[in-house]
Chains A and B, each alone.
Chain A
Amino acid sequence: MSTAAVTDKRPSSLRGASLPKWSPWAIAAGSVVVAVAIGLIGGLSSKIQWGLIAAILFVLGTYGIAARVEGRRQAKDRVATSLVWVAFLLAVIPLVSLVWTTVSRGVKVLDVYFLTHSMGVVADSEPGGGIYHAIIGSLEQVGLATVIGAPVGILTAIYLVEYGRGKLAKSVTFFVDVMTGIPSIVAGLFILSLMLIFEMQPFGFAGSLALAILMMPVVVRSTEEMLKLVPNELREASLALGVPKWRTILKVVLPTSIGGITTGVMLAIARIAGETAPVLLLVFGNPFINNNPFEGAQASLPLYIYQQYAQSAGANAAYDRAWAASLTLIAFVMILNLVARGIARWKAPKTGR
């Protein structure tokens, strides 16, 4: 008797009853319908409650149906899958709604005029004006902060991974940890106290210094992780060729990890680009265009957004401008992320046979 004949007669022990492929969708649709019904009948006003009821029904329904048809083990598997999906949706919904709100409210006044004019002659409650001065301020402050923060952070990470031994390395690691936790307003106050000692007026570079303080630990951490990923064998291969250690780091270790390091730096830039508190303290804000980051108050995008809200006495024109500036800021951060991904992919060690 052949094995084929056996499987024809008896159901295989390897194949159990299973739900059709579309069943998760059906269960999801069913639970949404039931949740809406419950919401309407129970007179629940909040749509969030509706969503939560649907999510709970979906998870419970999946378990019940799968347990009945497929057995307990498969049911648990399906519950785990549906929990992941629910969590995913819970995470994505606020994100999508945030992007949607920003885009739909932001595009109203976002045009070339808006990007190329300042608020110099426009009162905060009137329509018109733009964010050119804020873009300039943001670019200069964030750029200078990066010029300071990124090299210091990368060099610190190189020290920690490649050279650091003993007490000094431990204490550097400890201070980096502490710095990671510094609230941005405290970094701002620190620089402010220095400014007060020297009796200086607000200027862009002071903001850059505070931003650099915030940026450094992020860069150190991400660069450290990337350097640790470089296999020790590559370092040894280079050293065994008679290459000095510093050249090995420069020509072998850094090129191997440059993609990841760049990504880390870009993410750190994205983080500080949205900082408001230290800029408010140190750069103060300025409706006029000030191209010089080393003298006089400047604007910046996050600060501009805040001030449009805070100082416009509820004028719609100001709200629109704030949204448009938010959209610009999000776009800026997104472009940075895309650039980082591009560099990471371009510089990634080449594999493939």
Chain B
Amino acid sequence: MAKRIDVSGLTAYYGSHKAIEDISMTVEPRSVTAFIGPSGCGKSTFLRTLNRMHEVTPGGRVEGKVLLDDEDLYGAGIDPVSVRREVGMVFQRPNPFPTMSIFDNVAAGLRLNGKYRKSELNDVVEKSLKGANLWNEVKDRLNKPGSGLSGGQQQRLCIARAIAVEPKVLLMDEPCSALDPISTLAIEDLIGELKERFTIVIVTHNMQQAARVSDRTAFFNLAAVGQPGRLIEIDDTERIFSNPSVQATEDYISGRFG
């Protein structure tokens, strides 16, 4: 189910502003890849090019290739809507749909896509909530509004919503930055479980988190303010944190920079 991502020569623009330039990398299936780097270096932008959410922003434009198991996401005739069904996304701030109950939030992806059988809906919701480690906390109030949950629960609800449509890849943009340490731990545990089934890419500002959850780590940086962001290096997480091959990476990780 999980799929491999192969990016080559990717450049992304906001209107005439070039945000990231010439990025190439490979993300293996059933692994966790962490993106680290200073704010504004284009981590979110790059992440959003991986499921064609970048072009939702007015003026958003992409050059280069993103292969998902050998299929170019930016190839001719590719429907961005189908891409997003394969590559799901969890955002920085928990954003459950405020008009919907907990159940409806998780079912939203299936319902809104109009492809489901009524009988399977209950199962999918239960399975997804269990997958997001939220089932025990909410099983007695599935019909209550999702916005009534705590921040950490809301974020896990958003993860449940994202995995309910069975994507192949899960992109997470700083999923814990709005959460307390306990909820963060819950989500990190969850990421460890989810990587059995999905390819996971996570942006984080927290070095320990990157070291704890990821198999591979990519370091992004800007040459200077106003310059586009670039991929400095990507390697096994252990190596990046013990013996990176680029000096800038070491400076960033040891806090001498950024």
Contacts and interface: CB of A to CB of B under 8 A. Distances in A.
Given A240-B51, A241-B84, A350-B99, A233 B91 contact: yes
B53 interface: yes
A242 B85 contact: yes
Interface string A339-353: 000000001011111
A256 B97 CA distance: 8
B219 to A, nearest CB: 25
Contacts of B95: 231, 233-234, 236-237
A173 to B, nearest CB: 16
A94 interface: no
A242 B56 contact: no
A160 interface: no
A247 interface: yes
A244 B56 contact: no
A353 B148 contact: yes
A350 B147 contact: yes
A214 to B, nearest CB: 31
A10 interface: no
A42 B97 CA distance: 67
Nearest to A256: B99
Contacts of A236: 53, 56, 89, 91, 95
A255 interface: yes
B112 A247 contact: yes
Interface string A248-275: 1001100110000000000000000000
Interface string B89-125: 1010101011100000000110111100000000000
Contact of B98 (A165, A241, A251, A350): A350
Contacts of B162: 240-241
Contacts of B111: 251
A252 B113 CA distance: 12
A239 interface: yes
A241 B97 contact: no
Contacts of A350: 98-99, 145, 147-148
B84 A242 contact: yes
Contacts of A349: 98-99, 145, 147
A44 interface: no
A241 B93 contact: no
Contacts of B191: none
B109 A255 contact: no
Nearest to A241: B109
B165 interface: yes
B82 A241 contact: no
B108 A241 contact: yes
Contacts of A239: 53, 56, 84
A contacts with B: majority SS = helix
A237 B98 contact: no
B81 A242 contact: yes
A227 to B, nearest CB: 14
Interface string A306-350: 000000000000000000000000000000000000000001011
A243 interface: yes
A243 B98 contact: no
A238 B81 CA distance: 11
Contacts of B149: 353
Nearest to B82: A242
Contact of B145 (A241, A252, A256, A351): A351
Nearest to B95: A233
B158 interface: yes
Contacts of B3: none
Contacts of A244: 81
A252 B111 CA distance: 12
B230 interface: no
Interface centre among A231, A238, A243 (most CB of B within 10 A): A243
A256 B98 contact: yes
Interface string B41-69: 00000000001010010100000000000
Given A349-B147, A351-B147, A352-B148, A241 B161 contact: yes
Given A236-B91, A239-B84, A242-B85, A252 B109 contact: no
Contacts of B29: none
B166 to A, nearest CB: 10
Contacts of A248: 112
B88 interface: yes
Given A237-B91, A247-B112, A353-B148, A242 B165 contact: yes
A278 B168 CA distance: 61
B115 to A, nearest CB: 10
A351 B165 CA distance: 26
B147 to A, nearest CB: 5
Interface in B110-159: 111-114, 145, 147-150, 158
10 contacts: A165-B58, A236-B56, A236-B95, A241-B162, A242-B81, A242-B85, A243-B109, A243-B113, A252-B97, A350-B99
Q: Which 3 A-B residue pairings sit nearest by Cβ, starting from the closest?
A: A242-B85, A349-B98, A350-B145
Given A231-B95, A242-B81, A251-B108, 15 more contacts: A234-B95, A236-B56, A236-B91, A241-B85, A242-B165, A243-B113, A244-B81, A247-B114, A252-B97, A252-B112, A256-B99, A349-B98, A349-B145, A350-B145, A350-B147
Interface of A: 165, 231, 233-244, 247-248, 251-252, 255-256, 347, 349-353
